[in-house]
Chain A
């Protein structure tokens, strides 16, 4: 399978290392042409404001919007912010294909970054296990989930629970960094789903 990783900026190398462990050689995507022939894409962590600037020249933003509207996507942290329908903290443009609001840096600054365990919803436990280790770095919060968005994993918060991993059709979006974790479960699941999507095309 031909998987790309958006590499205008961010921890694309960490994602590439995980895919390499799983036997997949990824292509780094820096320009619109780099999307040609790809079957799935990863949008990595990084700084979403910087990524937006780097997506503007050469029509990459529009090509990427078309690509993520129909192909399997794994988006982590800043990548998920790029996908969100709406972004707060502050407001900024996005690809707008994932039906939720992402609030940037919602848990505070780097000093508040942490590693915690998330509970996997029972319907996904068969593939992901009961718990997921989540590395949260200046993480966004996902809220106002709309139609078609499923919560895959969540953690306790002040006012009940909050989602850390979402699925909407072919899209997986994490507020944490599975690429910095010690398990490759999320990537494995993403590749399996992408494989299924490919076969049903």
Chain B
């Protein structure tokens, strides 16, 4: 990818840092999200917890719905395509969405290949559980990485595991000798040049966000203290008792993530969070994070 294109793609992700990106299914929700201080919205047909409940094939959202959301808010609008479904991505690019999430929350369209994201002008975000997966996605052209977590559960444990794994593996690389990086790249199944870059810089070459199971202001601050630069909240907002108040609270928590006094203030007046599912109780085939590789 030529460097100017990558700078524009990661540049928009830079603008979202310290912010909250919220899943919305219609224009009314998008307006609530924007008024609460969301930095962007993710337009989709069903939030992950409903996809989990209702089953069926989850695809790119209805175009009229996305268009309606784009016309309603002035903040960036993202939309999801299925893993490997480059035609859904082409359609979303033609529609003019600001970011595409090649997402494990939708039913994968390709069992082997992810989308070649270099072929697009619109930037992509992709999920990752560990450093190898993150670097494979960046190698394919992703301009933002987010943890996968376990979407639609309201259980933050997997987002925490993924963020800890990515950060630990990056730290490890920085103490390896140049001659040890070749084998490490093989073990990570990641492009050598990217492994070397992370070893030198100690961080990913693209912004590193967190997603999957974040349901409370404390969850948001937790993943940010662990190294996330912004958070995605899916079912956590519009499946809770008072979405507008919860959205505002999570927005403030993402800014003041290291300030327990503000976090306390933020938690004080909140209603009930989404009920959630204990992610450890999921059968392996019910996990969304194992989609993609």
**In chain A, residues 137-187, which have Cβ atoms closer than 8 Å to a Cβ of chain B?**
137-138, 177, 180
Interface, chain A (partner B; CB < 8 A)? 7-14, 30-31, 45-47, 49-50, 52-54, 57, 77-78, 89-90, 104-105, 108-111, 113-115, 135, 137-138, 177, 180
Closest CB in chain A relative to B247 CB, distance in Å: 10
Most buried by A among B8, B11, B36, B122: B11
The one of B12, B75, B248, B262 in contact with A49, judged by C-beta atoms closer than 8 angstroms, is B75
Interface 1/0 per residue, B3-44 and A, CB below 8 Å = 010011001101111110000000000000010111110000
Interface, chain B (partner A; CB < 8 A)? 4, 7-8, 11-12, 14-19, 34, 36-40, 74-76, 93, 96-99, 121-123, 229, 248, 251-252, 254-256, 259, 262
Tell me, in angstroms, the Cα distance from A90 to B121 when the chains sit together.
26
Tell me, in angstroms, the Cα distance from A45 to B229 when the chains sit together.
15
Tell me, in angstroms, the Cα distance from A161 to B209 when the chains sit together.
38
Tell me, in angstroms, the Cα distance from A77 to B15 when the chains sit together.
10
Tell me, in angstroms, the Cα distance from A54 to B252 when the chains sit together.
7
Instruction: Determine chain A's interface SS by DSSP, over half rule.
Output: loop
Residues of B within 8 A of A78 (CB): 15
Query: Contacts A30-B256, A49-B75: A10 and B18 contacting too (C-beta < 8 A)?
Result: yes
Tell me, in angstroms, the Cα distance from A50 to B16 when the chains sit together.
10
Closest CB in chain A relative to B97 CB, distance in Å: 8
Most buried by A among B99, B121, B229: B121
Asked if residues A12 and B255 are in contact (CB atoms below 8 Å), the reply is no
Query: Contacts A9-B18, A12-B18, A135-B7: A54 and B37 contacting too (C-beta < 8 A)?
Result: yes
Closest CB in chain A relative to B92 CB, distance in Å: 10
A89 closest partner in B (C-beta): B74
Tell me, in angstroms, the Cα distance from A83 to B259 when the chains sit together.
27
A137 closest partner in B (C-beta): B11
Most buried by A among B17, B76, B97: B17
- Report, nearest first, the 9 A-B pairs whose CB atoms are least far apart: A53-B37, A110-B98, A11-B14, A9-B18, A47-B39, A50-B37, A137-B11, A9-B19, A113-B8
Query: Contacts A53-B248, A110-B123: A47 and B40 contacting too (C-beta < 8 A)?
Result: yes
Tell me, in angstroms, the Cα distance from A137 to B5 when the chains sit together.
11
Asked if residues B15 and A115 are in contact (CB atoms below 8 Å), the reply is no
Knowing that A31-B256, A45-B14 are A-B contacts, what are 6 other residue pairs whose CB atoms are under 8 Å apart, sorted by A's residue number? A9-B254, A10-B18, A30-B256, A57-B252, A111-B122, A115-B7
The one of A9, A12, A49, A54 in contact with B34, judged by C-beta atoms closer than 8 angstroms, is A49
